[in-house]
Amino acid sequence: MRGNGGRGEFRAWLVASLAMLAPSCDPGPRPEAPSLLPEPGAARRAVEEALGEWRASPATDLSAPGRSLIFVDRQREPGQQLAEFAVLGESEVDNCRRFVVRLSLEGPEETALVAYYVFGKDPIWVYRAEDFEMMMHMDMAPDDPPAPAGASGG
């Protein structure tokens, strides 16, 4: 469930998009980068569908490549169940739609306010804010092993 398939596909897309934006020797007009901003209704439906799938089947890998909706939330505990959710707000941030959602969780029981970023059109990506920030800064993933004690950076 913690594979890098979705993140790897996004990175490949991101590199290709950035390459399109890079300066070239040709001073002529460049094609515009494709917009990653889904329509508001489609973005909200994606969040609700992703969370609905999690609620219905917490063990399903919702980040598997090849899906039309890819949901990345590495912050939740394995097997943790979603009892209820409520979308509380939406905003547009850096070519993404950002949704604030209240999650009611079981196993362990807790309530959390969580932000999700939604971008893309086919597929539509729904990323938990912490995972999105980690991916954008290419930080170490939570399941990556730490550096050995006493190892020096180089």
What is the DSSP-derived secondary structure letter of residue 46?
H
Q: 36-137: which CATH architecture? A: Roll (3.10)
> Mind listing the pLDDT tens digit for each residue in 109-139?
899 999 999 999 888 999 999 888 887 777 5
- In this prediction, residue 113 carries a pLDDT of 96
- In this prediction, residue 14 carries a pLDDT of 53
- pTM for the model stands at 0.66
> Mind listing the pLDDT tens digit for each residue in 20-40?
444 445 555 555 556 778 999
32 CB-side CA count, 13 A: 3
How far apart CA 43 and CA 36 sit, in angstroms, is 11
> Mind listing the pLDDT tens digit for each residue in 46-70?
999 999 999 998 777 777 777 889 9
Contact yes or no for 77/143 (Cβ under 8 A) = no
